[in-house]
Structures are given as structure tokens and as C-alpha cells.
Amino acid sequence: MSLPFYFQLEAVPPLSPSDFEKRLRAIGESSYHDKHPFHVLMNEGKCDPEQIRGWVANRFYYQVQIPIKDAAILSICPDRELRREWICRIHDHDGIGDDPGGIERWLLLGEAVGLSRAELLEQKRLLPGVRFAVDAYVNFCRSHTWIEAMASSLTELFAPSIHQTRIDAFPKFYPWIREEGLRYFRKRLTQAPKDVSFTLRLVIDRCKTRPAQEAALAALRFKCELLWSMLDTLYMAYVLRIQMPPPDGR
């Protein structure tokens, strides 16, 4: 009788650090959301103002949940030194001292594309599918191990290129977007590489067994999938113009 899958995996030798890193990076190369048709349209200048505003408004829900997700990770991480490092991510988004933080910079982006702060803060344009995907990410980080939750953030390996693409594409194709709206993307060009350098090293160092490595890979795949599913919802609502009916059917 064959052993259950878990015990079979226990018997498999771990990947070497270099092979493990290659597999982590390969996930983004194949499935990061910069390849989604909605992003392709946006970065090629083919979105209208309403589509841009829809993306900004819905992505804002993801932005405001990031520090909540990171607080959840801190609550289950037993290592004081790791917590001291990870808490910087909350400061990056909520702000600290003179730095207003990423959430405030995204609000500036919203104003730059013609949205009011109330529309963003009150989630007036938030689509159910986006809410579901983002909430699933927060719940993932609450319910899995701290190293899996941290591994899921390795989508930042691929983020600088998408931020640079937006910095280049928006002024070229959408000159109606005010320049101060790009501050969020410019800031992330320096924040994301710093964050991911720490996390990549941590995941490779702490995931020494094959089951731990496969769990980290699965966490990163899950994060890529939920980012993709958010854009599926946006594509349906703003490109295909298919909207979910009200709950009461009216």
C-alpha cells in the first residue's frame, strides 16, 4: 500500500537554495498579474477614464487591507527580531512620522484620476469579487503559518517592473491624470526591493524541508491567483460591462 502524499513528500530531498529560488521566481514569470488582459489594456493606453477610475477605486481596498494583513502576520510570528523588521511594512502603508504612507498616496492617485476621497474611503465602487479576493488574502495570512504568510508577499519580486510600467505609461497615454498621482508607484520602486530582499532570504533560509518549500511555493501561487482574480472581476465589470445585480434583484 502506498504512503499518503504528505509522507511521500517528506521523503523527497529538499530543493537546493538556488533551485528553490528559481521555482519561486518562475511562478511570477508565468502568472503575475502584469500579464492579465486588463493590465495589458491599461498599459497600452486602451482604457477609458471610467476603466482607470474603476481600477484605482477597487485596488484601494487591497491597499487598505495590506497593513491589516501584516498585523495578522505579526500576531502569529513568535520571533521578536522578525516582528521588528516586518512592522516596517505597516508603517510604509499607514504612514509614520512625516511620511503619510502608501494609503495616503493612493488617495492622491484617486484624486488625480477624478475620484473623491469619499468614493474611495466609503468603498462606493468596490466590486464583490474584489472584496472576496482581498478578504481571502487576509484570511489566508491569519490561518496559515507565519512563514507561509510571509512567502505569499513574494509577489514583490515582480512588482518593481509593473510600477515602472505605470510610471512610463500613465503620462504618455493618460495625460489627464495629474502627476502627483504617480507618487505611490515611485515610492514602491524603492520600498518593494528592500522588502523582498529580506523576505526572499528569510523564506529560503527557513524553508529547509521539501514540505516547507512546497508550502511556500503554494502560498506564492495563491497570491498570484488572487491578484489575477481581482482583475478578472474588473475586466468583467469595466471591459465586458457585466455588472452583478443588486442583492434584492431590482
What does the pLDDT look like over 198-245, one tens digit per residue? 999 999 999 999 999 999 999 999 999 999 999 999 999 999 999 877
Any idea which residue has 486602451 for its cell?
A: 46
Give the model's pLDDT for residue 11. 78
Residues 133 and 233 sit within 8 Å (Cβ to Cβ): yes
Range of the domain at 78: 17-239
- Measuring CA to CA, which residue among 19, 23, 35, 57 is closest to residue 161? 35
Residue 10 lies in a domain: no
pLDDT along the chain (250 residues), means of 10: 55 95 94 96 98 98 98 97 97 96 98 97 96 98 98 94 95 96 95 92 97 98 97 97 70
Output the pLDDT for position 49: 98
> What secondary structure does DSSP assign to 77-114, as a single string?
---HHHHHHHHHHHHHHH-BTTB--HHHHHHHHHHHTT
Say what the pTM is. Answer: 0.92
Domain for residue 224, yes or no? Answer: yes
Q: How many CB atoms lie within 10 A of CB 138?
A: 17
Distance CA 92, CA 155 (A): 17
Give me the number of domains the chain comprises: 1
Residue 165 lies in a domain: yes
The pLDDT value given to residue 5: 53
In a domain, residue 8? The reply is: no
CATH code assigned at 63: 1.20.910.10
